[in-house]
Amino acid sequence: MSSMTTEPEMSDTEASFTPWPAELAERYRREGLWAGRTFDDVLRDTVAARPEHTAVVDAHRQWTYRDLDGKVDALAAGLADLGVTPGQRVMIQLPNRAEYIQTVFALFRLGALPVFCLPAHRSAELTALAKSSAAVALVTVDEHEKFDHASLALDVAGAVEHDMQVIVLSDSAGGIPDGAVDFGSLRGAPREFARAEPSSVAFLQLSGGSTGVPKLIPRTHDDYLYSVVRSNEICEVTPDTVYLAALPAAHNFPMSSPGILGAVVAGGTVALTLSPAPSVAFAMIEKARVTMTGLVPPLARLWTETAEQGTDFDVSSLVTVLVGGARCPDELAARVEPALGARLQQVFGMAEGLVCYTRFDDPMGIVTTTQGRPMSPFDEVRVVDDHGDDVPAGAEGNLITQGPYTIRGYYRNAGANARSFTADGWYRTGDVVRFDDAGNIIVCGRAVDHINRGGEKVSAEEVEEQLLAHPAVRDAVVVGVPDPYLGNRTCAFVLAADPAAPPRTGTIRKFVRERGLAAWKVPDVVTVLDEFPETGVGKTSRKDLRTLLTANAENA
């Protein structure tokens, strides 16, 4: 496979990529969905077509496509000089700034695979991802939101057995710690790299995750580019589009629905904001004349409320606001358009593939109450019961799907593949949905116990494991309970190892944070109980625990 000596051995059951069945792949090619282009081809085409058009704007920089192309060339060469070779994985943990775009496209040009980490990831997630991807480098920033990312990255590099370089982007001269490579020094003489195969894996995206740490999702140039091109058609992305990455740029939603890549494919402009707070993001909308953005529901609420109260910023350039990642309450959906003066588009998607949009010619009632329909006529969706049989039309059930941009398996994870895919390769989304008469999807909830906290996914199992590591905790269960702002909030129930000396709830939350978990996974509420309620068969009843919380809240 690779010349790297530290690369873990790969067995057949731990395949890095599960191909589509031959006849489907053939159909997707014949129909022109898989167009045989790479992301580097796309950038080169846009550079050739619109060299002087603004490609990227952030708080401090503004680059044309020609500028971006030059920076991508230099960085790709610099990374190659550092020893990064095609096919190797490189983790990226960068905030929303121009160099994020440069780094992603430099890796594409070089043929190395970005692994898209989020700025909120901490040692638990990054170490697991470094191991599972066998990444040869981690690109990060010295500091973001008062957190020392460079030290975190060096710790992660020290915790993995293989060699991993830490590359740090810093605006200050003293920002590069010993042992790290200065991002700014990675400027090599431009050279030609072998073109990647369009059918090969372009990058590893991360799953929202329902069990353990995030799973790695291998996406090919062919399949992902199709999803971007199709998103552009539906969302009407043109060379005049200015897309604002307000959510973390590495997430699938701002990346490709239609997102950053949609803007680059269309020859439009990508604007990035370090913070999605209205006071910062609205300033960027005004400055860059942003036309389109994507928000999770809690942010959509914050922006809507801010606009309703009146803002001094001129946000009149906004044409389209996409809302997705978690269920957008109907009441909020109805307020977005009047408040922000931009049309609402709901999006229900997943990093594994399937993306659904409401359409611009849908009646308002559909746009505000449904999550739209699959974007491709080649998407196949079924709603099934727990035995895998189709439910009657219009009934609620489990959504399963296959199609031209939905993966057939995770990266080197046979266990997860067995759980998340049917025997014939359909992806089990874990979502409980129903279809209306017109074929629109309404998301009703989750079958699998991951908690959707305002678009950020929390695996109950992952947090429970961390809680169990505390010596004063005998058992732990994490559940989600409805929250008016976040959709769901996380509540941890724990049993004390010594009932006479129960742990303090503040101590437990601090413990989880210090174990190196992303902050959004720290339980919002911790409750110590004497025993857990049980179901008829003696399992801990998550349902009763949820009820307990609701009852407590009502009595409070």
> Which of residues 78 and 324 has its CB atom nearest to ligand OOB in the complex?
324
Per-residue burial over 402-420, b if 16 or more Cβ lie within 10 Å, else e, is bbbbbbbbbbbbeebbeeb
Tell me if 140 sits within 8 A of 94, measured CB to CB. Answer: yes
Q: What is the 3-state secondary structure (H, E, C) of 58-103?
A: CCCCEEEHHHHHHHHHHHHHHHHHHCCCCCCEEEEECCCCHHHHHH
CB atoms within 10 A of CB 279: 10
For residue 473, report the phi and psi dihedrals to the nearest 5 degrees: -105, 125
CB of 205 to ligand OOB, least distance (A): 8
Length of the chain: 556
Binding of ligand OOB at residue 226 (CB under 6 A)?
no
Distance CA(415)–CA(18), nearest Å, equals: 14
Binding of ligand OOB at residue 271 (CB under 6 A)?
no
Binding of ligand OOB at residue 254 (CB under 6 A)?
no
> Which of residues 103 and 257 has its CB atom nearest to ligand OOB in the complex?
257
> Which of residues 133 and 371 has its CB atom nearest to ligand OOB in the complex?
371
Could you say which residues in the range 428-487 bind ligand OOB, by CB under 6 A?
Answer: 429-431, 443, 446, 452, 457
Binding of ligand OOB at residue 355 (CB under 6 A)?
yes
Tell me if 262 sits within 8 A of 238, measured CB to CB. Answer: no
> Which of residues 50 and 219 has its CB atom nearest to ligand OOB in the complex?
219
Could you say which residues in the range 13-52 bind ligand OOB, by CB under 6 A?
Answer: none
Contacting range for ligand OOB; rule: CB under 6 A; set: 104-112, 252-260, 285-293, 301-309: 252-260
In the list 119, 267, 278, 325, the residue contacting ligand OOB (rule: CB under 6 A) is 325
Contacting range for ligand OOB; rule: CB under 6 A; set: 78-86, 349-357, 388-396, 410-418: 349-357
Distance CA(542)–CA(459), nearest Å, equals: 14
Which residue number is nearest to ligand OOB in terms of Cβ?
349
> Which of residues 34 and 253 has its CB atom nearest to ligand OOB in the complex?
253
Distance CA(449)–CA(210), nearest Å, equals: 7
427: its two tokens: 């992806």
Number of residues in contact with ligand OOB under rule CB under 6 A? 24
Distance CA(379)–CA(401), nearest Å, equals: 7
In the list 121, 219, 301, 327, the residue contacting ligand OOB (rule: CB under 6 A) is 327
Binding of ligand OOB at residue 344 (CB under 6 A)?
no
Contacting range for ligand OOB; rule: CB under 6 A; set: 125-133, 152-160, 319-327, 534-542: 319-327
Binding of ligand OOB at residue 253 (CB under 6 A)?
yes
Binding of ligand OOB at residue 349 (CB under 6 A)?
yes
CB of 268 to ligand OOB, least distance (A): 18
The DSSP call for residue 292 is: E
Contacting range for ligand OOB; rule: CB under 6 A; set: 106-114, 249-257, 267-275, 307-315: 249-257
**Which residue type is seen at 457?**
K
In the list 77, 124, 139, 351, the residue contacting ligand OOB (rule: CB under 6 A) is 351
In the list 77, 350, 473, 478, the residue contacting ligand OOB (rule: CB under 6 A) is 350
Binding of ligand OOB at residue 75 (CB under 6 A)?
no
Tell me if 231 sits within 8 A of 257, measured CB to CB. Answer: yes
- Alpha helices by DSSP H, listed for 160-215, are none
CB of 127 to ligand OOB, least distance (A): 21
CB of 384 to ligand OOB, least distance (A): 15
Distance CA(409)–CA(428), nearest Å, equals: 11
Tell me if 22 sits within 8 A of 199, measured CB to CB. Answer: no
Sheet of strand 380-384, all strands in order from the earlier edge strand to the far edge: 380-384, 397-402, 427-435, 441-446
> Which of residues 484 and 536 has its CB atom nearest to ligand OOB in the complex?
484
**Which residue type is seen at 154?**
L
Q: For ligand OOB, what does the binding mask look like between residues 361 and 380, x meaning CB under 6 A?
A: ----------x---------
Contacting range for ligand OOB; rule: CB under 6 A; set: 96-104, 107-115, 178-186, 320-328: 320-328
227: its two tokens: 């999803």
String of DSSP letters for 489-520: EEEEEEEESSTTSPPPHHHHHHHHHHTT--GG
Binding of ligand OOB at residue 420 (CB under 6 A)?
no
Binding site for ligand OOB (CB under 6 A): 207-208, 252-253, 257, 324-327, 346-351, 355, 371, 429-431, 443, 446, 452, 457
